[in-house]
Structure 1
Amino acid sequence: MDMVTTNERRPPAPGPAASPSPAARSAARVRAALRYAWPALAAWTAVRLLGLLTVWLWARHNGRSPVSALTRADGTWYLGIARDGYDAAEQLHSNMAFFPLYPGLTAAVEAVTPLDLKHSALLVSWLGGFAAAWGLFAIGAHLYDRRVGVVLAALWGVLPHSVVQLMSYSEGPFTALAVWSLYALLRGRWLTAGTLCLLAGLTRPTGSSLIGVVCLAALIAVVRRRDGWRPWAAMLLAPAGWIGYLAWVGWRTGRPDGWFRIQGEGWGSSFDLGVNTLQRAQQVLTRPSELEFYVVSLVAVLAIMLFVLSVLDRQPWQLLLYSGLLLVTTLGAAGFYHSKARFLLPAFPLLLPAAVALARAGRARAITVLTALALISAYFGGYLLLVWRFSP
């Protein structure tokens, strides 16, 4: 039998599937992280919307502009920097006391969007608060579980001075940079931690607290010869923003201590190891005072108690050192007693003991407590903006 050979037409063998681009992979990771974090982000957004609605209705009832209320006090200084830049070097009560990243971002948003300067400042602040809540969830979920992360983000949103997270203030963006820098540090991502610390150092003077943590962690890694050159890079990046801005102010004023002189002689803020804070607290507690002073005194006492609980809970030393340094720099400084509770907003590790306790107490109890705190925070935020005469 003759064999006939034919060439059958076969479909070509499938080649290797095209791998997604780095941008697509990054977008997929962000979507997955957002799906994981959405309860925390929804909780923070809900309590802050309650605060915003309270301020809006209260201001309208009093015939005042809600936007003006949200951009008052220190917010006017940030808006002035975004609009006109920094003062002349010879001014002692100078806006150079305020660090440049937040007003710089505000000016950038105004330049590329239809928003005016006030709304641009509020948008930057709100996005910073949203990013901070996301980071708080990430820290809580990393150290404990998802429920602790959700409660931690919600607690940060119902603090007495959380209205500041909606104002043209830098606390929200700074907290976002600090929490994500510490999260990167806990995960061993040195370059991310150092870069975010650099940006935090350009946002608020208390960036020095974060710098100490990142640099010490990097130094320990270098001594132990871990992770190659990356800890070295983090050690160089972390202080660059803070030192760079102070150096620039020193150059502008012709004095190496120019920024500290402006703070002390121009703004009446110095470091006295807490003597002035104790004196002011004694005055508040021994004679009739306004509501804001009582709340600040209570927050200061609770902050110290929560720090002790954090030590007993054996928090990671990076978080303990960060919140401890913030406590020292805030309570140890003289002046602006009425703002000390606001200055402690970025000290988020102090909330972890309460977040763990609430998360373990059960959903119904946690929702009950958080709802009550949200209502109190909404009222007090309206009081700070529309009744209290000084900055929050």
Structure 2
Amino acid sequence: MTDYAALASDIRRWGEELGFQKIGITGIDLTPDEAHLLDWLDAGHHGEMDYMARHGARRSRPAELQPGTVRVISARLDYAPPGLREAWNVIGDGERGYVSRYALGRDYHKVLRGRLQKLADRIAGVTGPFGHRVFTDSAPVLEKALARNAGLGWIGKHTLLLDRDAGSWFFLGEIYTDLPLPTDAPASAYCGTCSRCIDVCPTQAIVAPYRLDARRCISYLTIELRGAIPEDLRPLIGNRIFGCDDCQLVCPWNKFAQVTTVADFAPRSGLDSARLVDLFAWSEAEFLARTEGMAIRRTGYEGWSRNIAVALGNAPTRDDVVRALRSRADDPSALVREHVAWALARHASAHG
């Protein structure tokens, strides 16, 4: 007979040995969160992320996604890069492109999946083969709700998970399992009356505490959206070319965030503070070469170019900026051409 209490203790220790900062275990009842999810979908706040609606309640019912699941092992891995305090300097410099800090290094899916699989293998070494499945933001999983229930933190007003000792600069991963492990107590919430994340959002995407309208969120607009970025939102995006961190950068709890020790998360290709005109000059082959193994690939070259065109439209009117935009005025992509034309019109009106 397996001593599940001892196994749970071992799982936490093995997780720490594998580099995770925290491991928690929870059951699979997500009834209140399912109601919140369905209401969010009914409001259309998922935008063009059709897969969110397609999966529907499967996201909040772990046993439907992985039959036999009775517990979820939730894991946290910190990713805050060095120089995080310099992020505002990049955002404030209209000639440089801002990339969300989570995307500066190796694709987190690959890093987390490998470590979680090693943890699952360690468990199997004790229990023998067991029912399980590893997830890293790769399937319909309510990972923040599960992590909250597993004691890893609370869901903040910006809808990200927060830990009192670590802020929010971390990734989450899960192992769905059929092992009846003892569960942890859910985390308590400590946002209080603070509303800094709501107030700072450039596009006012946090429409109410704990409610994000993805259609206005810069992360959605620059990563998930495949078509044209709505014109009224383009000026508000500033120089953010892949994601947005403003709500995390202002959060008081992030003063406790620790710089990652994972070498894979170190910034690559100078993307922590690259010049927009240099990035816009990349060919598709160069984009693919410089972003190999990175989450930035998700936009594709066309989306990447579209985003930079918007940022250049918001940049100070300078000869090199206008030259860069004109160099791609006849881009093969109609999507890119339209955003370049918008950007050039912005600079033409600035010259007046």
Answer 1 or 2: which has greater strand percent. Answer: 2
Question: Under TM normalisation by the shorter chain, which class is it?
Answer: under 0.3
Please say which structure displays the higher CA radius of gyration.
1
Taking structure 1 as the reference length, the TM-score comes to 0.23
Taking structure 2 as the reference length, the TM-score comes to 0.25
